[in-house]
A and B are shown apart, each in its own frame.
Chain A
Amino acid sequence: MNGGAGAAGTTVAKGSSQAGGRHRDDRLHKALPTLVGIASVIGFFLVAELLIQFGVLNRFIIPPPSQILGSFGRVITEEHVFSRFLLTATECLTAGVMITVIGVAVGVAMHRFKLFQQACETWAAALASAPMVLCYPLFLVIFGRSAWTMIIMGFVSGLPPVILKTIEGMAGIRKVLINVGRSFNLTRSQQFWKIQFPAALPSIFIGVRLGLIFALINIVGTEFLINFGGLGQLIEDLAERYDLPGTYAAVCFVILVSILFFMALEKAERWLIRAD
């Protein structure tokens, strides 16, 4: 009897240790891509460091990663990087909200009214591939040396991909899903919010991601060109002073803005899909 209980106990213990092992394996499996990603970045910097230290790469053109790392403290304390970071992030957020709201609305309207789509889709596509940053003097004249110049630059350059991917997403909705909605007697508004919008969301989010990339590039580029505002201006200042480690450290903060926005977008996409 005792032996049986003991055996059962051992089996349970074995079972729970096996389950624990599986759980650890699952966690490791999930974390592996992140770990490999981090390791590849560290590996890249190590290789760059070695190539610079051994004179293969010119340290006066590309500063060693160790120097860039060392300059972070100085950039943070002396160059007011956080306020600049906040300014660039706010400009990017404002432009991002504008391209999402207006871009999705225009894309849906263009899909709904075929004449509008046939008349304007080519213009949107042409605008998407145009180097909009060259239009900065126009917006500088209209909005002056203010954050709005950067926001509008970001908006104009980020809008076309959102419009185009929204049209693509709406056009790609399977007819059977629309018919399911019709069979349940959905109103036009229900048909849009319950079926069309969630079905088109993956494509819309690709557009918003692309739009944000274009917006961020143009915002930082314009800050750099007109020497005003956030991180772009800081990069320009540091480059002018030939402070290369500081310049690259400031670039890292631009990358940080991008990462934060992409993380927020991923969360928003999951939330929207769940909220349907």
Chain B
Amino acid sequence: MSAPAADAQLNDPVLSVDKVSVRFETREGPVVAVDDVSFGVRQGEFLSVIGPSGCGKSTLFNVIGGLLTQHQGTVSVAGETIDGPHKSIGMVFQEESTFPWRTVTDNVAFPLELVGMAKAERVERARHFIKLVGLDGFDNRHPGELSGGMRQRVSLARTLASKPKILLMDEPFAALDEQTRLLLGDKVLQIQQEIQQTTLLITHNITEAVQMSDRILVMTYRPGRVKRIVDIDLPRPRTSEIVSSEAFGRYVAQIWADLREEASRGMREAEDQVLHHQGAES
């Protein structure tokens, strides 16, 4: 492959989101959750989507994952337009999503079982991913015996076992404490760097986004639009130690400046809504 061709392949987005809009009908009338959002994620890139609560991040996650098909615009993976769940996209959810009736190995081997892989082979493959997320030794435990952070790692390993082109994560560490979140961020970074996994992270946590991303897409409060895309020019490989660097602080401040206005608007609208409801009730 010639150098320009290789560059073109590297720069061509493996995931393209083109003019995606989502509108919901509510009792108060139609609500535009996501409006004309377009962006791309390049091969091996780590891109985070950040925005205040209610900006349509999770709606966007569901559209890209194919769980929400009622939308305008297109989502394509490597040039193929998708309209529903696609094997190239592996999803990690915000809520705890391990199967409590299966052991760690059986949870991770789940996607391999679906493709009809022989038991011995899938157990071996599952062990590889269990080790990758740092859970070796817990193979035969059930999720009920694990902590919240460990369970999220099982979910991550299960998704990685399906070898997706794009790893799509929706605030996977939202329910965890700050220290566990930083350490799991390290783990995700390590895995991402090790297997060059293209990753799209949906989050509302600025620290988490700056710690892990190559680029951060900042969204506006309702309707969710692309406000700005920030390139994070921090050295790799990274660990959570980077949070104490000056450059890290500058990025956090820059993104917070963008987000603050949106988050304040969201807060004001939420307060107005409460007052409106109270007025209507009285």
Interface residues of B in 56-110 (CB under 8 A from A): 65-67, 84-87, 89-91, 93, 95-97, 99-102, 110
Interface residues of A in 156-214 (CB under 8 A from B): 174, 176-177, 179-180, 182-186, 190, 194-195, 198-199, 201
The binding surface of chain A is classed by DSSP as helix
A-B contact pairs, 19 of them (CB 8 A): A174-B97, A176-B97, A179-B93, A179-B97, A180-B91, A180-B99, A182-B67, A182-B85, A183-B66, A183-B67, A183-B85, A184-B85, A184-B111, A184-B162, A185-B85, A186-B114, A194-B114, A199-B100, A276-B102
Q: Which residues of A contact B65 (CB under 8 A)?
A: 183
A183 pairs with B90, CB closer than 8 A: yes
Alpha-carbon distance between A176 and B91 when the two chains are bound, in angstroms: 11
Q: Which residues of A contact B110 (CB under 8 A)?
A: 184, 194
Give A residues with C-beta under 8 Å from B.
174, 176-177, 179-180, 182-186, 190, 194-195, 198-199, 201, 273, 276
Give B residues with C-beta under 8 Å from A.
65-67, 84-87, 89-91, 93, 95-97, 99-102, 110-111, 114, 162
- Most chain A CB within 10 A, of B89, B97, B101, is at B101
A198 pairs with B99, CB closer than 8 A: yes
A180 pairs with B85, CB closer than 8 A: no
B87 pairs with A185, CB closer than 8 A: yes
The binding surface of chain B is classed by DSSP as loop
In the complex, number of A-B residue pairs with CB atoms less than 8 Å apart: 49
- Given A183-B90, A185-B84, 8 more A-B residue pairs with CB atoms under 8 Å apart are A179-B67, A183-B89, A184-B114, A185-B85, A190-B114, A195-B99, A199-B101, A276-B102
Residue of A nearest to B106 (CB): A276
Contacting residue for A180 out of B84, B87, B97, B100, CB 8 A: B97
- Most chain A CB within 10 A, of B86, B89, B99, B111, is at B99
Q: Which residues of B contact A182 (CB under 8 A)?
A: 66-67, 85
Alpha-carbon distance between A180 and B170 when the two chains are bound, in angstroms: 13
